[in-house]
Amino acid sequence: MLAMSAMFEFSGQLSVTSYGSGWQAYFEVFNVGDESGEVAVGVSVDGTYLTEWRQTLSPSVGEHPTVDIGQLAQGVHTVEVYLNPGSGQNDHLSEQVNA
């Protein structure tokens, strides 16, 4: 059987919460491949790229990061996170928030 390179999936939902003077995105990501590898999670708000979170994960290992997305203008916004490399399923999440 061939080994499957590192590939990543989100587990669960994206949670976007306010704190003090800003907002945070919380998610769970797991390595569903057979090899260790680096995952990059891009974070965007209303289609505009903000930041990226990176981590090297071993096979079958997950991480639960919180990413600071800063202040949001008053109104409704869409926050999205996406994986690279994704497994082709469960590789992006989005949530609307009312700031």
Res 2: pLDDT: 56
pLDDT tens-digit map of 39-61: 999 999 999 999 999 999 999 99
Question: 53-59: long-range contacts at Cβ-Cβ below 8 A with a sequence spacing of 24 or more?
Answer: 55/29, 57/6, 57/8, 57/29, 57/30, 57/31, 58/31, 59/6, 59/31, 59/33, 59/34, 59/35
Residue 87 pLDDT exceeds 90: no
The verdict on residue 1 lying in a domain is: no
State yes or no: pLDDT of 1 exceeds 60.
no
CATH of the domain at 89: 2.60.40.10
Per-residue pLDDT at 24: 96
User: Model's pTM, two decimal places?
Assistant: 0.90
Residue 13: domain span: 8-98
Our count of domains for the chain comes to 1
Q: Could you tell me what percent of the chain has a pLDDT over 90?
A: 86
